[in-house]
Amino acid sequence: MFFTYLRRELRRRRKAALVVASGLALGIALVIVVTSVSAGMSKAQDKVLQSLYGLGTDMTVTKAAAPPGSGSERPRFRFDAQDDDSGGEQSSDRVMVQGLQTLAGSTVGKVDAQSGVADAVGGLSLQVVKVSGEFTRGRFQQGESGGQEGGGQEGGRGGGLGGAQPSPQGRVEGGGADFDVNSYSVYGTDVTKPALGPLTSSKITSGRTFKTSETDAKVAVADAAYAKEKKLKAGSTVTVKGTKFQVVGIATADSGDAAANLYIPLRRAQTLADAKDKVTTIYVKATDSQRIDSVKAALQKNISGTTVTTSADLADTVSGSLSTASSLAASVGKWLSVVVLVAAFLVAGLLTSSAVSRRVREFGTLKALGWKSGRVTRQVVGEAVVNGLVGGVLGIALGLAGAYAVTAVSPTLQAQLGSGGGEGLRGGFGGPGRQAATKTLDVALTAPVALTTIALAVGLAVAGGLIAGAFGGWRASRLRPADALRRVE
């Protein structure tokens, strides 16, 4: 009886049911699109951050910044004197620790021993400045005698006191120096723990990555852009401060710039920089992503003289159109969804209540025939819930279409990261060479729809039907059989 009466009433009141369902569908579709776009924003931001600190890293530990002016060092280059006339070609490499701030290698073990830390690995960021070229000696060209004519003769004859000695005059011609300065970054990575560190933000596209046994081997992995510039490939050799390294692989950054031009084993990097048992950055993976803040607090408390930077800290430094769109989706979009949903629920409730008012004689007659108030109320609520479910189906369809349209268009957003990030970027997540310049990445926006979003849409549809049914049910429960008689003409 319930379903028969329900089917008849919905068929008889198609227009009112369609209005209620359409209002709910619009609100639900907007919620799906906004939620999906927000998820896409989060995914794009994660991609930007991953390009900086690598996959699996939750935070980094670096040495606390020194006061301005302290610890600064100017690079000095020294060349040997040459006895031959040509001067000869000379070159000199200067390997400097990036940022000139290092931590003791034992700090890695201290970090790894902290509660909530799943793994920790150290890395050494280096900057290599190579000056090469040659000196060419100039030639002294002697000119004519510049003394007075008479004085010269007198002096020549008698060597009188007033005579001027001949002073040859001339000038230096040719000579000079032609030197080229080449600067590139080198990163010493712990090859025994390949799952952490900046190299995880790149993919090996040629050759291979490091073997865990190559802790002190003269091998290197080159960034694809640097390899193209220097015409390197797997099997080539590069020389850093007189040491030849064999390039075993080419790594291509997943997004944006790579962390360094060359990657070498950590121990080799420490030897080149004369920084034995030193690291610049410690990459940390937490046991639980929900405990990152507590792990950060513990590290700052237990390991003094360090700066701990999480991905959330770095996310605050992201600017550009990605940040703007993310803010709009998180604030304006969500509030707009709430307003539309509330309006749709109110409209559905008012329309249902109004429909009950037009059915006073019908419900009064049913009560006179023996229907109790609870049965009438359940009938009205059932009709409203069905309208809500129909609206939910339409809303899910519209929402999926909207999310698909956003993904198909894939608008390009820009994310800017630079020195505005503060100390968190100083040799930490920012990686080698990123402290001074602003970095801009182009990220394609997608709108992935999760199952939880679909479940939320179904829940909103049921909630909308229940709210509308509550309005109508309350109105129907107050009807009396006598009301029907007053409507009889």
pLDDT tens, position by position, 234-280: 999 998 888 999 999 999 887 656 778 999 999 999 999 888 899 99
Domain co-membership, 281 together with 411:
no
- Angle among Cα 376, 379, 382 to the nearest 5 degrees reads 150
Backbone dihedral angles phi then psi of residue 225, each to the nearest 5 degrees: -65, -40
Q: What's the burial of 370, exposed, middle or buried (CB within 10 Å: 0-12/13-18/19+)?
A: exposed
What does DSSP say about strands 139-142 and 306-310: parallel, antiparallel, or unpaired? Answer: unpaired
For residue 73, give the 3-state DSSP assignment: coil
Alpha carbon distance 393, 340 (integer Å): 17
**56 — pLDDT class (breaks 50, 70, 90):** low
Mean pLDDT of 473-478: 68
Instruction: Give the tens place of pLDDT for each residue, 83-122.
Output: 555 555 666 677 888 775 889 989 999 999 998 899 999 9
Domain co-membership, 128 together with 233:
yes
- The pLDDT score that the predictor gives to residue 219 is 95
pLDDT at 317 over 70: no
- CB burial of 135-153 (b: ≥16 within 10 Å; e: otherwise) equals beeeeeeeeeeeeeeeebe
Domain co-membership, 221 together with 356:
no
**Closest listed residue to residue 260, CA positions, set 269, 231, 218:** 269
- The pLDDT score that the predictor gives to residue 397 is 92
Position 170 in a domain? no
Q: State which of 260, 277, 304 marks the end of a domain.
A: 304
Output 294-297 pairs: Cβ under 8 A, ≥24 positions apart.
294/116, 295/58, 295/59, 295/114, 295/115, 295/116, 295/117, 296/59
Alpha carbon distance 167, 13 (integer Å): 121
- The pLDDT score that the predictor gives to residue 163 is 47
**206 — pLDDT class (breaks 50, 70, 90):** very high
Between 225 and 9, name the one with better pLDDT: 225
- The pLDDT score that the predictor gives to residue 329 is 62
Position 153 in a domain? no
Q: Are the CB atoms for 460 and 31 separated by under 8 Å?
A: yes
**18 — pLDDT class (breaks 50, 70, 90):** confident
pLDDT at 406 over 60: yes
What does the block give as tokens for 376?
A: 């009438």
Domain co-membership, 468 together with 344:
yes
| Alpha carbon separation from 328 to 127, 332, 343, 394 (Å, rounded) | 40, 5, 21, 26
Mean pLDDT of 314-327: 61
Residue 149 neighbours by CB under 8 Å, 6+ apart? none
**Closest listed residue to residue 446, CA positions, set 46, 28, 49:** 46
- The pLDDT score that the predictor gives to residue 17 is 76
> What is the percentage of the chain residues whose pLDDT exceeds 90?
16
Position 82 in a domain? no
Kindly report the pTM of this predicted structure. 0.57
- The pLDDT score that the predictor gives to residue 381 is 79
pLDDT at 34 over 60: yes
Position 427 in a domain? yes
Between 11 and 386, name the one with better pLDDT: 386
Query: Can you give the residue range of the structural domain that contains 376?
Result: 2-53+320-486
Q: Are the CB atoms for 277 and 270 separated by under 8 Å?
A: yes
- The pLDDT score that the predictor gives to residue 263 is 95
**143 Ramachandran zone, left/alpha/beta (phi>0; psi -120 to 50):** beta
- The pLDDT score that the predictor gives to residue 265 is 94
Which of 248-257, 319-328, 454-463 is least confident?
Answer: 319-328
- The pLDDT score that the predictor gives to residue 320 is 57
Mean pLDDT of 129-147: 63
**CA dihedral in degrees (221, 225, 228, 232; nearest 10)?**
-10
Between 471 and 202, name the one with better pLDDT: 202
- The pLDDT score that the predictor gives to residue 26 is 84
Position 168 in a domain? no
Mean pLDDT of 302-310: 86
- The pLDDT score that the predictor gives to residue 23 is 80
**149 — pLDDT class (breaks 50, 70, 90):** very low
- The pLDDT score that the predictor gives to residue 433 is 39
Position 387 in a domain? yes
Q: State which of 251, 274, 304 marks the end of a domain.
A: 304
User: What average pLDDT does the structure give for the chain?
Assistant: 74
Alpha carbon distance 12, 349 (integer Å): 19
pLDDT at 7 over 90: no
Domain co-membership, 117 together with 265:
yes
Domain co-membership, 218 together with 329:
no
- The pLDDT score that the predictor gives to residue 437 is 43
Domain co-membership, 299 together with 345:
no
Domain co-membership, 201 together with 263:
yes
Domain co-membership, 345 together with 298:
no
Which of 57-71, 147-161, 283-297, 420-434 is least confident?
Answer: 420-434
Domain co-membership, 294 together with 333:
no
pLDDT at 165 over 60: no
> What is the percentage of the chain residues whose pLDDT exceeds 70?
63
Domain co-membership, 347 together with 455:
yes
Q: Are the CB atoms for 454 and 396 separated by under 8 Å?
A: yes
**427 — pLDDT class (breaks 50, 70, 90):** very low
pLDDT at 420 over 50: no
Position 341 in a domain? yes
pLDDT at 375 over 80: no
- The pLDDT score that the predictor gives to residue 178 is 61
Position 180 in a domain? yes
- The pLDDT score that the predictor gives to residue 42 is 73
Domain co-membership, 98 together with 199:
yes
Q: State which of 255, 280, 304 marks the end of a domain.
A: 304
What does DSSP say about strands 219-223 and 262-265: parallel, antiparallel, or unpaired? Answer: antiparallel
Mean pLDDT of 63-89: 57
Alpha carbon distance 220, 483 (integer Å): 90
Alpha carbon distance 145, 156 (integer Å): 13
State how many domains the chain has.
2
What does the block give as tokens for 330?
A: 């998180």
What does the block give as tokens for 317?
A: 């430094």
